[in-house]
């Protein structure tokens, strides 16, 4: 009987260690609610680390088609850090790239993929007239609560110190859902939007020991008009599992 209990506890501990190890390498953040225009919106961010590379997939999962600029996902803020000697440190970014399917809106018909069949490069290039996604190499203002270390976006943000976003304030390459039926978005092929999702690849000098989280934020529109912070769901799950184990232990020895 004791051997079975020991084996059960060892199995649970191994599962928890595996879960913790996995969460340190892959995390998901989700948010749903109403935009400032009252449109139901939902979004998801999937972050994963492989070696020194961080991949972020941003998805506009809204069931309702985007109708206004404030419905469009235009920025994402996150943190990746580790503690060394009681001091929080963050990795140094080496390269950044982003891809997605760029579409121009067609009022009364299906939107048109601007650049043909393949994925489009939506990374911002200095001097490029198309203002697209940019990586904030600096850190967000530490006076903000909660503090987030990094940001990617197609719009500027004055909270970034230093402010590494260019003078970006348009919707170009923002992520929308459904088909565009409102001219307040865009029907101009020169400033298309990304349909549904975009993938970002960030290479750092060294990601050894760094972890994602524990909070992130989604920004909508061109201001951004709204910014929504979301906690890491895995932390809640681990807490519930811990309470469950404590309950088993209490029942055994009560």
Q: Looking at the predicted structure, is the pLDDT value of residue 201 above 60?
A: yes
Q: Which two tokens stand for residue 139?
A: 């850190």
Q: What are phi and psi of 116, to 5 degrees?
A: 95, -140
Q: Looking at the predicted structure, is the pLDDT value of residue 143 above 70?
A: no
Tens of pLDDT, residues 85-97: 888 888 988 888 9
Torsion angle in degrees (nearest 10) through CA of 247, 248, 253, 254 = 50
Q: Looking at the predicted structure, is the pLDDT value of residue 28 above 90?
A: yes
pLDDT, position 141: 63
What is the DSSP code (8-state) at residue 31?
A: E
Q: Answer positive or negative: Cα dihedral of 43, 112, 121, 37.
A: negative
Q: Classify 47 as helix, strand or coil.
A: strand
pLDDT, position 251: 32
Q: How many C-beta atoms surround the C-beta of residue 20 within 10 A?
A: 12
DSSP, residue by residue, 180-191: ---TTS---TTS
Question: Burial code of 100-112, b = ≥16 C-beta within 10 A, e = fewer?
Answer: bbbbbbeeeeebe
Q: What percent of the chain has pLDDT over 90?
A: 40
Rounded Cα distance between 36 and 30, Å, is: 18
Tens of pLDDT, residues 144-181: 666 778 888 887 666 655 555 556 667 888 999 999 99
Question: Burial code of 183-210, b = ≥16 C-beta within 10 A, e = fewer?
Answer: eebbeeeebbbbbbbbbbebebeebeeb
Rounded Cα distance between 106 and 187, Å, is: 6
Domain extents for the chain? 29-230
The reported pTM is: 0.79
Cα angle, residue 45 at apex, residues 121 and 135 outer, rounded to 5°: 45
In this prediction, residues 188-214 reach a mean pLDDT of 91
pLDDT, position 137: 55
Give the least confident one: 14-18, 63-67, 127-131.
14-18
Cis before residue 214, ω within 30 degrees of 0? yes
pLDDT, position 3: 53
pLDDT, position 151: 86
Q: Answer positive or negative: Cα dihedral of 113, 193, 177, 99.
A: positive
In a 13 Å sphere around the CA of 84, the CA atoms on its Cβ side amount to 7
In this prediction, residues 104-131 reach a mean pLDDT of 78
In this prediction, residues 1-23 reach a mean pLDDT of 48
């Amino acid at each position: 009987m004791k051997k079975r209990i020991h084996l059960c506890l060892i199995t649970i501990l191994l599962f928890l260690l595996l879960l913790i190890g996995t969460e340190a390498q892959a995390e998901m953040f989700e948010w749903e609610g109403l935009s400032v225009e009252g449109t139901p919106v939902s979004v998801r961010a999937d972050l994963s680390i492989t070696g020194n590379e961080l991949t972020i997939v941003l998805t506009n999962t809204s069931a309702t088609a985007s109708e206004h600029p404030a419905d469009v996902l235009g920025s994402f803020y996150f943190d990746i850090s580790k503690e060394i000697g009681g001091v929080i440190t963050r990795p140094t970014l080496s390269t950044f790239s982003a891809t997605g399917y760029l579409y121009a809106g067609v009022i009364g018909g299906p939107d048109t993929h601007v650049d043909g069949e393949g994925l489009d490069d939506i990374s911002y290039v200095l001097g490029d007239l198309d203002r697209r996604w940019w990586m904030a190499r600096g850190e967000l203002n530490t006076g903000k609560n909660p503090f987030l270390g990094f940001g990617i976006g197609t719009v500027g943000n004055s909270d970034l110190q230093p402010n590494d976003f260019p003078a970006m304030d348009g919707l170009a390459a923002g992520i929308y859902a459904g088909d565009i039926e409102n001219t307040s978005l865009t029907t101009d092929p020169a400033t298309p939007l990304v349909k549904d999702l975009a993938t970002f690849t960030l290479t750092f000098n060294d990601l050894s020991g760094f972890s994602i989280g524990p909070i992130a934020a989604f920004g909508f529109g061109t201001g951004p008009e709204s910014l929504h912070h979301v906690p890491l769901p895995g932390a809640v799950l681990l807490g519930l599992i811990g309470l469950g184990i404590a309950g088993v232990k209490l029942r055994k020895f009560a």
